[in-house]
Structure 1
Amino acid sequence: MKMHSDALLAMIRDGKPMTLSQQLRLTVQLSVPAIIAQLSSIVMQYIDAAMVGSLGAEESAAIGLVSTTTWLFWGLCVAAATGFSVQVAHRIGAGDMQGARAILRQSVTATLCFSLLLASIGATISSVLPEWLGGDASIRYDASLYFLIFSLFLPALQMNFLAGGMLRCSGNMHMPSLLGVVMCVLDVIFNFFLIFPSREWNIAGFFFTMPGAGLGVKGAALGTAAAEVVVATILLRYLWTRSAELRLTGERGSFRPVLNTLKKALHIGLPMGIEHIVICGAQIMTTVIVAPLGIFAIAANSFAITAESLCYMPGYGIADAATTLVGQSLGAKRRELTRSFAHMTVFMGMVVMGIMGVFMYLFAPQIIGLMTPVNEIRELGVMALRIEAFAEPMFAASIVAYGVFVGATDTLVPCLMNFFSIWAVRLSLAAILAPSLGLKGVWIAMCVELCFRGAIFLIRLKRERWIKRV
């Protein structure tokens, strides 16, 4: 399949006509491994939540309290990497491999410096963040410690995003997907030994002591960080020495960022960063709205968000494929092919996430049940997932259309659209409904807003103002 996708991508660069069947085949071939990569990252969060959830409601609430802030920093790292990887997709689409490698070298220096700045900011605010978010005094210490460890390992996470993004934009979806699965496995192994204390096991009458550090929430953070470090190292080495289009071995070049490259990266990445701030800022405000509802509501809200991610992450995988296909098609100056890939990927995302929404509604009790043994949390989590299931197709439209716009370097207007939708629709409704309906009101507001957001993104996609003059 990898050779076939390479041949199809070469048809884009070489200006050869592509049938609808070939376009669909290429879209599927790039989307499937990208979906696996996205799902693996969410499975890792699911594993953390389930393992920590077995310790009790307070430990779950501690991670849930700062989860939206970790996603904010995570999103900023993604935006920084995307600012450079989209440029690489355009260069590869134009057949300029040397120029693509030059951008890659510059991106390593720029994003590493950016992630070090984020790490210092995160470490500085970690001690006061739980109090800012209105968390109960009983969970503030664990929440603060979890966020501190997350912040200190941000440079490794940044290199992970950069290397994976560069490979995906070159058309290699398989290696990031494979390493995503490896990271999940490593996360389970590290968490198993770091979260739980030493305990006696009995297997078929044979008793032995299973060693463990017993670090609880701290162990969950360290286990995830260790998995990220290992995978980032492997991805960077592969990108550096094995990537057909981007390997740097044997080629000399400067790692000093060039002003023109930085300007283009800012043009692409800055609106994306603002968009992540808008979305995660709204999630943080949602956390503030949920926090007074109690520890059970905080934990259920966090678990439901993590569980829902299993449903919408396929959309982000297809969006990654859309960014690559649109970026390379525009780089090759093929306007009609760009339009075709845009419509095809958005439709595919809506179908896939619509099906996932049905499964999420039907199996909500089992999904939440795997994450926590606490009945009060389970009931609230199931309610939230079943409300959100109705929004999944329109949520997919906004996710994949955004990936299309990123590939076309059109990120400012979608950022403003997200800002209006989330802050004017979701938060307003949540603030109105939460006092009377509790957590149910918060998730009703989220469902309504996602449907509205999907509608306005479909309208922008149809009008085609995002297609630049090529």
Structure 2
Amino acid sequence: MKGTLSKRNTKYKLTNLKGDSSHKVIFWTMVMLAWPTIVEYFLETIVQYVDTAMVGQVSAEASAVVGLSTSLNWLVNSPLFAVGIGFLAMVAKATGDDDPKAIKRAADQAILLVIGLSVAEGILAIAMSPFIPKWMGADKLIWQDASIYFAVICMPMIFRASIIIFGSLLRATGDTKTPLKINLLVNGTNVLLNLLFIYPSRTIYIVDQPVKIWGLGLGTFGAGLATAIAFVIGGGLMWRAFSQNASLHQGLKHIKFEKDTMIKGLKISLPIALNKTVTSLGYVVFSGLVSSMGTFIFAAHTIAIVAESIFYVPGYGMQAATSTMIGYTLGKRDWQLYMRTVLLNVMFIAVLMMPASLLLYKFAVPIMHFFTQEAAVIALGAKVLRYVAFSEPFFGVSIILEGVYNGLGKTTYPFAVETTSMWLIRIVGVIIILHLPGATLTKVWLYMIADNLVKTILFGWGIFHFKNRMRLFEKALATHS
């Protein structure tokens, strides 16, 4: 069995698409690129599950403290993810072009951006942390704890940037296993430190035998501290892996600013950054609107958001693999390989997400019960999870289609779609609901579902409409020429 798997890993590497573009080879290449990232995101989500559950055992207010920072973290990470995706597209295309010098030039500019972005974002996030809970309309009871938690997890920003950007570049070269291993260690460290930092010293019973467990009892501050330490470990290890990758790095003394490469990378990254920033800002506003409905409703909302996240992990796990493969087809200037890759990835994620949707619908109550013992929170959270379950396959397809645009470097259209859909459907819709009698969390989530469906339709039209298909590929080629 081991020998068979080894042969399959060798046969279905990214560069082997050059010699064989059959559906079978495309499919297994996608699987070999995607599975480590899917496992990585899955385990990250499991840790988020455990984090939320561990904090939820303290109180509903503690859940709200951590939940308030969830959408803020998306906002903070947006520019970092954008740079990672933009330079992933460049490295993947350079791999298809067989241009090792272009790969190293792109990697050098990514290093400069890791340093510059992390310093700027870290200072800004920490400076704003005392004011954010109030701006988001959170209950005064959690203002101080939420501010401290957010500041603590933003302190090691350069390590967070290293994990995201260097991890993307490693994946662009086809190395998806190293980021998986590093994130496994990071997530495990986070959980262990949570056990030590969140709860006070206590006695548990294992087979009727008392076992003393030491703890600091730091609550949400302890959860933030555990996360920050895990970021430091992960960032250090990701830099080491990046610097040891011969395709990407040639030593710090060789790094120099390359204007043309930097501009090309930023042209791809900027629309993604604007997209993710505006969308994440929308999530912040969205969370603020829901938080104004009360602590228990907000707790149900934030827990349900976390609970849902594990069910679209396959989509985000496949997105990086899709972008890498699309960038490679662009480098080879192979239209047929491009279209086969798009169609297979979209069909695969749609089929994969259908049973996930059924599981989410069937086990909504037990899933909510995992996070909290509050009966009202469980009932409300399970109700909205059953609503959103039906839209999961469409959401998964939209994630893959966005990955196609990212791989092509054509990121302006997704920015327009994401921004328009988020603000006109989700935000405006919820504002209207809150100003009408009978506002409920269920009605809020219906607008969230509508937002996801509209994005899927518009992304699909941009890629599959017969007038757009060839033109999009040709424009991407012209842009990269």
Residues 1:388 and 2:388 aligned together: yes
Residues 1:11 and 2:16 aligned together: yes
Q: What residue in structure 1 maps to residue 122 of structure 2?
A: 119
Residues 1:58 and 2:61 aligned together: yes
Q: What residue in structure 2 maps to residue 219 of structure 1?
A: 222
The one-letter amino acid paired with 1:304 is A
User: Aligned to 1:281, what secondary structure does the other structure show?
Assistant: helix
- Paired with 1:294 and 1:80, the residues of 2 have a C-alpha distance of 37
Match of 2:174 among 164, 171, 176: 171
Q: What residue in structure 1 maps to residue 339 of structure 2?
A: 339
Identify which range, 431-440 or 393-402, moves more after superposition.
Answer: 431-440
Q: What residue in structure 1 maps to residue 201 of structure 2?
A: 198
Alignment of 1:89-108 (within 5 A): 89-108=92-111
Alignment of 1:248-397 (within 5 A): 248=250, 254-397=254-397
TM-superposed CA distance for 1:160, in Å, is 0.4
- Paired with 2:252 and 2:186, the residues of 1 have a C-alpha distance of 32
TM-superposed CA distance for 1:206, in Å, is 4.0
Match of 2:450 among 419, 437, 448: 448
Q: What residue in structure 2 maps to residue 210 of structure 1?
A: 213
User: Aligned to 1:468, what secondary structure does the other structure show?
Assistant: helix
Give the TM-score normalised by structure 1.
0.95
User: Aligned to 2:201, what secondary structure does the other structure show?
Assistant: strand
User: Aligned to 2:292, what secondary structure does the other structure show?
Assistant: helix
Change (3 A) 1:210 1:252: closer
Number of matched pairs: 465
Change (3 A) 1:153 1:3: farther
Residues 1:43 and 2:46 aligned together: yes
User: Aligned to 1:437, what secondary structure does the other structure show?
Assistant: coil
- Paired with 2:113 and 2:187, the residues of 1 have a C-alpha distance of 28
Residues 1:421 and 2:426 aligned together: no
Give the TM-score normalised by structure 2.
0.92
TM-superposed CA distance for 1:183, in Å, is 2.2
TM-superposed CA distance for 1:203, in Å, is 3.1
Contact persistence 1:102–1:253 (CA under 8 A)? no
User: Aligned to 1:245, what secondary structure does the other structure show?
Assistant: coil
Identify which range, 98-107 or 309-318, moves more after superposition.
Answer: 98-107
Q: What residue in structure 2 maps to residue 28 of structure 1?
A: 31
The one-letter amino acid paired with 1:162 is I
- Paired with 1:11 and 1:28, the residues of 2 have a C-alpha distance of 14
Q: What residue in structure 1 maps to residue 80 of structure 2?
A: 77
Residues 1:467 and 2:473 aligned together: yes
TM-superposed CA distance for 1:321, in Å, is 0.8
- Paired with 1:385 and 1:68, the residues of 2 have a C-alpha distance of 18
Change (3 A) 1:171 1:387: same
Contact persistence 2:108–2:249 (CA under 8 A)? no
TM-superposed CA distance for 1:4, in Å, is 4.0
Identify which range, 111-120 or 284-293, moves more after superposition.
Answer: 284-293
Gap regions ≥5 residues in structure 2? none
Q: What residue in structure 2 maps to residue 408 of structure 1?
A: 408
TM-superposed CA distance for 1:99, in Å, is 2.4
Q: 4+ runs of 1 displaced by more than 6 Å?
A: none
- Paired with 2:296 and 2:279, the residues of 1 have a C-alpha distance of 24
The one-letter amino acid paired with 2:474 is K
User: Aligned to 2:202, what secondary structure does the other structure show?
Assistant: strand
Contact persistence 1:342–1:404 (CA under 8 A)? yes
TM-superposed CA distance for 1:328, in Å, is 1.3
Contact persistence 2:137–2:289 (CA under 8 A)? no
The one-letter amino acid paired with 1:459 is W
Identify which range, 281-290 or 195-204, moves more after superposition.
Answer: 195-204
TM-superposed CA distance for 1:231, in Å, is 2.0
- Paired with 1:205 and 1:393, the residues of 2 have a C-alpha distance of 46
State percent identity of aligned pairs: 28
- Paired with 2:216 and 2:295, the residues of 1 have a C-alpha distance of 26
Change (3 A) 1:89 1:6: farther
RMSD over aligned CA atoms reads 1.8
The one-letter amino acid paired with 2:90 is Q
Identify which range, 423-432 or 312-321, moves more after superposition.
Answer: 423-432
The one-letter amino acid paired with 2:248 is L
Q: CA deviation digits over 1:366-419, x for unaligned, max 9? A: 111111111111111111111111111111121110001100001011110111
TM-superposed CA distance for 1:205, in Å, is 4.8
TM-superposed CA distance for 1:122, in Å, is 0.2
Gap regions ≥5 residues in structure 1? none
Q: What residue in structure 1 maps to residue 441 of structure 2?
A: 439
- Paired with 2:231 and 2:46, the residues of 1 have a C-alpha distance of 14
